[in-house]
Amino acid sequence: MNNLKKYLFLSIISLAIISCEDDSIPVANNVTLAFNNTFGNTTIVLGDATSTEATQNTSSENQVHHFSEAKYIISNIRLINKDGIEFPYNVNNLDTGATIIDQSNPSTLQYVLNGIPSTEYTQIKFGLGVKAALNTLDQELFPAFYSADKKLHWFWATGYRFTKIEGFYGETNTPLSVHTGSVLGGDKTDETTWSSEAAHARNAYRDITLDLTTNAKVGENAPKINIKADFNKVLSGTNKITLNAATEGYVSGSAPSHHTSPETMVQFVDNMGGNGDTDITGMFSIESVEN
DSSP string over 229-280: EETTHHHHSSSB---BPPPTT--TT--BSSS--GGGHHHHHHHHH--SSS-S
26 or 262: whose CB is closer to other proteins?
262
Segment near other proteins (CB under 8 A), from 17-25, 42-50, 149-157, 279-287? 149-157
94 or 101: whose CB is closer to other proteins?
94
Segment near other proteins (CB under 8 A), from 30-38, 42-50, 165-173, 247-255? 247-255
Residues 169 and 234 sit within 8 Å (Cβ to Cβ): no
Rounded distance, CA 147 to CA 139, Å?
8
149 belongs to the binding site for other proteins (CB under 8 A) = no
Q: What is the total count of residues that contact other proteins (CB under 8 A)? A: 30
Closest listed residue to residue 231, CA positions, set 56, 75, 78: 56
Residues 289 and 216 sit within 8 Å (Cβ to Cβ): yes
Query: Which residues in 190-219 contact other proteins (CB under 8 A)?
Result: 198, 201-202
65 or 202: whose CB is closer to other proteins?
202
Segment near other proteins (CB under 8 A), from 61-69, 113-121, 245-253, 282-290? 245-253
Residues 290 and 227 sit within 8 Å (Cβ to Cβ): no
Site string for other proteins, 262-291 (x = CB under 8 A): xx-xx-------------------------
Query: In whole angstroms, what separates CA 291 from the centre of its chain?
Result: 23
CB of 105 to other proteins, least distance (A): 21
179 or 233: whose CB is closer to other proteins?
179
Q: Which residues pair with 67 in a beta bridge?
A: 167
54 belongs to the binding site for other proteins (CB under 8 A) = no
- Does residue 53 come out as left (phi exceeding 0), alpha (psi in the -120 to 50 range) or beta? alpha
Residues 241 and 65 sit within 8 Å (Cβ to Cβ): no
Point out which residues bind other proteins (CB under 8 A).
137-140, 143, 146, 153, 155-158, 183-184, 198, 201-202, 246, 249-253, 256, 258-259, 261-263, 265-266
